[in-house]
Amino acid sequence: MKIKAALIRQHSIWRNHKEINLCYVKKIIKTTLYHNIFAKLQSVQQAEVVILLTNDHEMQNLNFTHRKINKPTNVLSFPDQVFDWQNLSTLDIQDNYIYLGDVAFGYNTIAKEAVEQQKTFINHFTHLLIHAILHLLGFDHQHDSEAIIMEELEVNLLAKFSIASPY
């Protein structure tokens, strides 16, 4: 599967983290999509995601516009379509291409959380991108049973990057 991704650095503060580049982002997306729980997607020739790297001010605007929550957040996911991760076998894939959606990251909140949680910025970003891709694929953590499945999947995927469980 080919991963097509756009990485938009809307805020210059992201230049402090050159390791967060298109190659790394695509690797995270591909690793996530190649987990055996997503076997149906592995026949797709191309998957696409757009990533916005911005600041807390813009994240607060996006959070308020889309969720009516007037505060910044670390990451927001905007799926292109409604996915049911439990029923991907029924997914109608057109032209061997799937647009998963958009993901926005707020630098300031991520940096603050990384310090508070004693993680490196890159490890926290990696976790949040995996988390966001899972949301694009229909995962949610509103109910305990699904949150447990999502967390276990995140831990499994983070291990592929030699990142310890955040839970």
Q: Give the pLDDT band (50/70/90) at residue 85.
A: confident
pLDDT score at 100: 94
User: What confidence category does residue 41 fall into, taking pLDDT thresholds of 50, 70 and 90?
Assistant: confident
Q: Which residue has the tokens 């670390």?
A: 74
Nearest to 98 by CA among 17, 14, 33: 33
Q: Is the pLDDT higher at 109 or at 40? A: 109
Binding-site entries for Zn(2+): 131, 135, 141
- Bridge partners of 105, per DSSP, are 53, 75
Domain boundaries, the chain: 2-159
Binding site, by residue number, is: 131, 135, 141
Domain 2-159 has CATH 3.30.1330.10: no
Give the confidence band of 124 by pLDDT, cuts at 50, 70, 90. very high
Alpha helices in the chain (DSSP H): 22-33, 56-67, 107-116, 121-136, 144-159
pTM of this structure: 0.94
Maximum Cα interatomic distance, the chain, rounded to a whole number of Å: 45
3-class SS of residue 106: strand
What single-letter DSSP state applies at residue 18? T
